[in-house]
Structure 1
Amino acid sequence: MAKRLTVGKGEDPYNEPIPDNELKFYQRKGAKRKRPIPKFLSKHDQKVLKQVRNKAYCLDLVFNLCGFRFGWSAIVQLVPVIGDVISLMLGLRLIKAAQKIEGGLPQVLVSQMFMNTIFDFAIGLIPFVGDIINIAYKANSRNFMILEKHLTKGHRKEFEDLVKLREEEPPV
């Protein structure tokens, strides 16, 4: 299902593969771990990014049923109209939390986040089919990825160097 969540270059916003040299004896090749929050961000931005990541994960992917990942947002949206309004409010709370980063979010990114959330709401108003599309669309995870890319954009070189160091570290 992680492949269905891909927004961009086939990346999973919440997990990363464990390098072969860090695998434990009981883990198979390709095992994943929770993606860490970048350390080069300020403490405040790390806290905000972690809050947004946790909220987005709970709203979009916390449950797994027969290989399909869905969250509280999908469950709430099963109630016609009222569930969609509640899901909209939860999505708006996630955007409000994302705006608390140092320096604030640029208006362009805020409007992209609003468009994701409004699209999720509008499609959710369609009975049954809209619920299925919402499960696949994962607007909150998309909003988390927008925030993460914005925060790491200015530090992209540092981020790439950190990834290279992680790959080149000898096993302990």
Structure 2
Amino acid sequence: MAGGTSEDLYTMASSSHDPAAIRKRIEWMEHLLERSIKIPGTNKAVGLDVVLDLIPIGGSTLAAALGSYLIWEARNLGMSKTQMARMAGNVGFDWALGMIPWIGAVPDFFFRSNSRNLKIIKRHLDKHHPSSVTLDG
């Protein structure tokens, strides 16, 4: 999911409430925030979330704002307030860890709030919108 055509990007950027389009957008956002940058010489990847945590105070806040996008999409899907509160807790915990200058990026490497939130949304989509399910290749 690293690249895509301009048509794919338009579909992701649209404000459609279609569950399949939402699934595409949240998978893209999670990839950007958690797995978009390969660490040379390793089999590990980090994302914009870890990189932003290296910027004291403002970086963690910006990463939390980007992570909140997944919660906004959860609201668009009509997910329960309990599910969204759990997702907000994940983002808040990640934000608090990131507030520790420089060191905060280390636990963020292991606590991937956006991946956790993606799983919560995917479970909802699989249960309530099974037609949006895609096979991961």
The answer to whether the superposition gives a TM-score over 0.5 is yes
Q: Equivalent residues in 2 for 1:94-105 (5 A)?
A: 94-101=70-77, 104-105=78-79
Q: Is the 8 A contact 1:116 1:142 kept in 2?
A: yes
Aligned equivalents of 1:92, 1:155: Cα separation in 2: 22
- 2:86 equivalent in structure 1: 112
Q: Letter of the 1:96 partner, please give it.
A: W
Q: Of Structure 1 and Structure 2, which has the larger fraction of its residues in helix?
A: 2
Q: Deviations over 1:16-65 (max 9, x none)?
A: xxxxxxxxxxxxxxxxxxxxxxxxxxx81111111011101110011111
Aligned equivalents of 2:24, 2:119: Cα separation in 1: 12
Shift of 1:88: 1.0
Residue 119 of structure 2 is aligned to residue 152 of structure 1 = no
**Count of residue pairs the alignment pairs up:** 115
Shift of 1:96: 0.8
Q: 5+ residue gaps in structure 2?
A: 2-16
1:50 to 6, 15, 24: 24
TM-score (structure 1 length as normaliser): 0.61
Q: Equivalent residues in 2 for 1:82-101 (5 A)?
A: 82-101=58-77
Q: Of Structure 1 and Structure 2, which has the larger fraction of its residues in strand?
A: 1
Shift of 1:132: 0.7
- 1:132 equivalent in structure 2: 106
- 2:51 equivalent in structure 1: 75
- 2:116 equivalent in structure 1: 142
Aligned equivalents of 1:93, 1:151: Cα separation in 2: 16
TM-score (structure 2 length as normaliser): 0.76
Secondary structure of the residue that 1:129 maps to in structure 2?
coil
Instruction: Give the % identical residues.
Output: 26
Q: Is the 8 A contact 2:64 2:92 kept in 1?
A: yes
Q: Is the 8 A contact 1:49 1:98 kept in 2?
A: no
- 2:95 equivalent in structure 1: 121
Q: Is the 8 A contact 2:53 2:102 kept in 1?
A: no
Q: Is the 8 A contact 2:67 2:114 kept in 1?
A: yes
Q: Is the 8 A contact 1:52 1:98 kept in 2?
A: no
Q: Is the 8 A contact 2:36 2:47 kept in 1?
A: yes
Greater Rg over alpha carbons, structure = 1
Shift of 1:129: 2.7
Q: Is the 8 A contact 2:34 2:112 kept in 1?
A: yes
Query: What is the aligned-residue RMSD (CA, Å)?
Result: 2.1
